[in-house]
Structure 1
Amino acid sequence: MPLVTINVWQGLPENQIDQIQQATHACLVKAWGIPDNGGYYLINERPQSRMQIDRTMWGIERSNQPPILLQITSSPRSAEMKTSFYKLLAGEFARLGFRPEDLFISITPSNPEDWSFGNGIAQLLNGAQTTESSSD
């Protein structure tokens, strides 16, 4: 299950924050095949002065609208899975009224031993999952 940190400007309406989280989750389910009940989300609201983003880097013209920065930690995913996720999420954000140009995503891969979902157990290591967690 990925750990997703969503960084937005303070003051973004609660319903928009919910839309961002729900769209992100739906696209991860579709692109990466995570379970519907999978994923962990941390939402950080930051003052505008604390999110410094170049407005024209890589030929992208960002707006003065609030940027959305996603930091995802996950077991390794293929380049195809990552690019599929980027495309799906940009399309979903556009549908919701957010500019895809204002979406920034960074994915950090991790190994099975880097995760403990509770009880001091590395559940992703060699069958260490309990019967309860393996049904997810």
Structure 2
Amino acid sequence: MPFVRIDTLGVDPGRLDALGRAVQEALVETLGVPPDDRFQVLTGHDGTHGTLRYDDFLGIHRDEGIVFVAITMRSGRTPDQKRALYRRIAELAQAYAGTEPRNVLVTLTENEPVDWSFGNGEAQFAPAGT
């Protein structure tokens, strides 16, 4: 049940869709997320009404192809699983959207079952009394 936010420069809907597919497939392949467990917000920034800021932190030169991927999910994955996820997202973003791996920045935030409500005002994975 990861919740994914993808922000990129440019508002091409085809590129946004390709990036969303890349992240979803990487989650399925590396973490075993069910294929239909997709919750994504895809945002293209046009440089006028919204933009992204970045520099060459850690000596990695980024350019206007930058993509920020923020994933929130339940805790429990190993460091090796997370590394595999980052690597696969970068590979698929390049294959599907032509995004250079150096331009893919991924953040991962973990939380607990009670931190999720999928509707109806309920914590489906942490019912009352647990």
Whether the TM-score (by the shorter chain) exceeds 0.5 is: yes
TM-score when normalising by structure 1? 0.83
Match of residue 14 from structure 1? 13
Map 1:55-74 onto structure 2 (within 5 A).
Answer: 56-63=56-63, 65-74=64-73
Question: Are the equivalent residues in 1 in contact too, given 2:2–2:72 (CA < 8 A)?
Answer: yes
**Gapped regions of structure 2 (runs ≥ 5):** none
**Gapped regions of structure 1 (runs ≥ 5):** 129-136
TM-score when normalising by structure 2? 0.87
Q: Distance in 2 between matches of 1:95 and 1:10?
A: 18
Q: 1:114: Cα distance to partner?
A: 0.4
Identity %: 27
Match of residue 104 from structure 2? 103
Runs of at least 4 residues off by over 6 Å: none
Question: Which deviations, in whole Å up to 9, do the C-alpha atoms of 1:89-125 show, x marking residues without a partner?
Answer: 1111222321011111101111111001011211112
Question: Are the equivalent residues in 1 in contact too, given 2:73–2:110 (CA < 8 A)?
Answer: yes
Matched, 1:84 2:84: yes
Question: Which deviations, in whole Å up to 9, do the C-alpha atoms of 1:27-49 show, x marking residues without a partner?
Answer: 10011111010020011222436
Corresponding pairs, count: 125
Helix, strand or coil for the counterpart of 2:36?
A: coil
What letter is aligned with 2:36? N
Match of residue 42 from structure 1? 41
**TM-align CA RMSD:** 1.9
What letter is aligned with 2:28? V
